[in-house]
Amino acid sequence: MSVVCDHGIIDLIDKGLVDFSRSDTDYQTVIKQVNPNTLDLSLGRFIRWPMEAEGEVIFGREHRSELFWELREIDESKGILLRPGDIFLGSTREFLCMPSDVCGQVYTKSSLGRLFINHMMAGVIDAGFAGTITLELKNEGKHNVVIPYGARVVQIQLSRLEAVPDRDYSKRVNRYHGQIMPETAREERNGAAA
């Protein structure tokens, strides 16, 4: 595997890495988000905020996410306020269409990390995945932090696989392909590729 550099990222964008018809941003903006070996991704308009709720979520089993998560739209003039310890699920403005021979790893932007805002988990983006990226963000610091709508919050490092996999994400039984909104954990699905 090798990490894709800036001109390779631009080439992937030109070949459809970002589906601008399903993104809440444009080509020129995304091109400005290209770094030497990563692509910045920005915070989209909708988030899911955790609610106090009775009951429990059992990992891998179906649950009613509306009982645990409130869907909110970010006020573009105010952003989203994160107090110390606050968490939320966000999604990127960019709708990615990963090629069958490219995977990604999502990392917190260092400038956001220096405010102790952490993209916590689930950073692997499989080859063949299409959709916005759900972000798990948490304020790990001691200060209130406002994150504006459209802020560059994470970066994706793209790597070329040694070969095209037999079944990329789009050809497997999957739970998140095509997602637009920030998605909560979905029920595990068993079985062969669809």
Residues 88-128: pLDDT tens digits? 999 999 999 999 999 999 999 999 999 999 887 668 899 99
Looking at residue 120, what is its pLDDT?
72
- Distance CA(24)–CA(17), nearest Å, equals 14
For residue 188, the surrounding DSSP H or E stretch is none
Residues 6+ apart with CB under 8 A from 101: 127, 160, 161, 163, 164
Q: Is residue 162 flagged as an active site residue?
A: no
Q: Which residues of the chain have pLDDT under 70?
A: 53, 55, 57-67, 121-122, 168-194
pTM: 0.84
Q: Do 10 and 31 meet the contact criterion of CB atoms below 8 Å apart? A: yes
How far is it, in rounded angstroms, from Cα 170 to Cα 136? 23
Tell me, what's the pLDDT at 184?
Answer: 58
Of 136, 140, 162, 187, the active-site residue reads 136
Burial label for 114, CB within 10 Å (0-12, 13-18, 19+), is: exposed
Which tokens is 141 given?
Answer: 């610091």
Q: Tokens 């304020």 correspond to what residue?
A: 139
- How big is the chain by its Cα radius of gyration, in Å? 17
Q: Report the CATH fold assignment for 2-50+71-167.
A: Deoxyuridine 5'-Triphosphate Nucleotidohydrolase; Chain A (2.70.40)
